[in-house]
Structure 1
Amino acid sequence: MDVCRLTASLRCVRTSSSRCRAEAFQPKGAAHSSLLRLLVSPTLNHKVQATCVDSLSDSVRCQGEAAVIPAKPAPVVRLVRSDEGGGAGMNASVLTPVYIDFLQSMSFSRSRESCYPELLDVVVAGVKANGGSHLPEPYIKSGACFGHLVYSFHPVDLQAKIGHFTALGLMADDLASNLTGAARERYLEDMRLFHMKFTNPEGYARLYPGRGNLHAVLENFIVYLKTDQNPFFPTELRLHSLMIKSVFDFMEANLQEQHYERHPIEYTADMSQLPRFLRYKSGVSEVFSHFVILQTSSSGSASRDEHFFYNELYPMVPELIDFIDFGNDVLSFYKELQEGEDSISIVTHSRIHNLPLLQSLQERMEAVIHSRTRLMALADRTGSDAIKDRIVKFFQGFMSCHIGDKRYRLDEVLRGWYNGGSWA
């Protein structure tokens, strides 16, 4: 799942044998491959490859269409001729002015003070204290970084709970793809039975006597969902139900991904909605969108708080979903292209709609800019300066989480323009 895939994130349908996986956070000096290899548990004889949330659309990287452009468009990045580049190994210099224009249109601040996760170690400790200490360190760091940068407007303990959720999703996603043989088949069966074990553990024990527990990561996911390890329980029960539904969808979407890996589907123009549907099916970006609008203070009246949430904040959710999904497409595009991946979202969009690759990229950039414009208008509609400030910080944190992470290789594209520092 990509917080990057989570990022969410976070679903990816293969159309070829190319791998559509993101590199994980790696300690300095660790061997690089498409994924960080590490032991998940001392009980496993197989190694799995860890990934970061290819920051919310890599656990999640999906294929999808660009959002519909409104009648009054926001400023867009300038077009680049289709003959200026394209294909694997695209020259970074072709993309440099395009990405700088895009980031400036997003009002992105490139200073260290605006970009660097100064409290990352604190949030890492919070993830461990919240029950996440069983997870391998790279997953904890990936989740904590996402929780800290993207949700900097929330208290640190809430950032840690979001980081814990992110780390669990990343690891659950990676295991499905990276285990092999009998261990993999057992794990996929565990994913199929996840909803039964969650909703009816007695029925699970009766129907599958002697089968035992699900994989430890899935059992820990159940604990997270059923306790106050998650930020919605027990105070926000409607949102808690949404999270449970989204995790069920995530398990099903992961199984769909495994099917398409074994039996690839060739996209055609008449199935242009399928990639977007499969991405949404993962449900992950919806949960991360609700983390943005989660209320952390009260007016003193429960009815007023509920009215404000559903009438003023909730309309932001569709735009937040698009921003997370399409923003990740744009910010991970260069890395994936250089690594030879051809089943990535922007490439698929180009094929389905018969567009030059750079035009497809820029359409996706425009979709992100338009989502930002609409979200700012929705925030202004609330009449709350605090909400407007929150949305601005969300934009900044989301972009920073990608740009400052070296695995996205955006330093090759931005060529010294960015000076916010790197942490992975």
Structure 2
Amino acid sequence: MSDSRLSQVHQLHPAPKADQDALREALLERGRQAGVHVEPEDGSNMRFEAGLAVAAEMYPLHPFDIQVHIGLFTWLGFIIDDLNAELGSDLDNFQSRFFRGDTQPCVILQCFASVLRSTTDYYDPVVANLIVLSALAFVNSNAIELRREYQTIALTREALSWPYYFRDKEGLPEVYTYFCFYKEVCPDISRFMPAAPEMGKFINLTNDILSTLFRL
């Protein structure tokens, strides 16, 4: 590497960190307004902290209001994923109610629906559509997990792609891919959309690795 290239590398500075204190307060306030609270038990706090960390650490250069949007989405997503058995059949008809504009039967799902509807505030409409479709697939996957028939599915040689297929629906790869490309700085979809499939694979496989390590 030439000296000029080395000097350029040496001039690089770490990316600025998000204001986590301000972000924390904003997320808690948005939650309070919607009726979503952090409970004393460890699981509730872990879900909130995960939402905060994703927004602050994965998207540190995003505008503050988009970080709040991402943090709230992620916090609610962890609640839905962890407590899907408690939400039960309310998950089955989430999409139908969402498309009709009906009120969801519980605070968590109602807040999640509101977050999805606000996606076009920050993202190009077609990008927002992809984010919302991925989020709807995630909710539906949680509903599928509760079905007795799902528990009996056995992997066969004829259906080797099933685990990845379900991970792709459940893992929100398009959501976290397209969260990178908000419309203010990424108006041209041709500059980033071709990268989405590979980014999604990376997110899915990384999710699997981290999930495995977490269970060890």
What is the TM-score of this pair, normalised by structure 2?
0.77
Which of 93, 102, 105 is the equivalent residue of 1:214? 105
Contact 1:148/1:160 (<8 A) preserved: no
Tell me how many residue pairs correspond in the alignment. Answer: 195
Cα distance per residue 1:334-380 (max 9 Å; x no partner): 332x2xxxxxxxxxxxxxxxxxxxxxxxxxxxxxxxxxxxxxxxxxx
Q: Which has the higher helix share?
A: 2
1:81 paired residue number:
none
| 1:244 maps onto 2:132 in alignment | yes
2: CA distance, partners of 1:242 / 1:142: 23
- Give the letter for the 1:219 counterpart: Q
2:167 paired residue number:
279
Helix, strand or coil for the counterpart of 1:159?
helix
2:31 paired residue number:
132
2: CA distance, partners of 1:167 / 1:242: 20
Gaps of 5+ in 1: 1-112, 180-186, 205-211, 299-304, 339-424
| 1:257 maps onto 2:145 in alignment | yes
Contact 1:120/1:148 (<8 A) preserved: yes
2: CA distance, partners of 1:332 / 1:169: 16
Contact 1:246/1:284 (<8 A) preserved: yes
1:195 paired residue number:
95
Helix, strand or coil for the counterpart of 2:121?
coil
Gaps of 5+ in 2: 1-12, 39-44
1:64 paired residue number:
none
Which of 201, 204, 213 is the equivalent residue of 1:322? 201
1:144 paired residue number:
52
1:289 paired residue number:
177
2: CA distance, partners of 1:333 / 1:195: 30
CA distance 1:247–1:297, shift in 2 (3 Å) = closer
What is the TM-score of this pair, normalised by structure 1?
0.42
1:27 paired residue number:
none
Contact 1:249/1:283 (<8 A) preserved: no
Contact 1:242/1:287 (<8 A) preserved: yes
2:192 paired residue number:
313
Contact 2:134/2:173 (<8 A) preserved: no
Q: Among the aligned pairs, what percent are the same residue? A: 24
Helix, strand or coil for the counterpart of 2:184?
coil
CA distance 1:334–1:290, shift in 2 (3 Å) = same
1:269 paired residue number:
157
2:5 paired residue number:
none
Deviation at 1:199, TM superposition (A): 1.6
1: CA distance, partners of 2:48 / 2:115: 15
Choose 1 or 2 for highest CA Rg: 1
Deviation at 1:145, TM superposition (A): 0.8
1: CA distance, partners of 2:211 / 2:15: 18
CA distance 1:249–1:235, shift in 2 (3 Å) = closer
The root-mean-square deviation of aligned C-alpha atoms, in Å, is 2.8
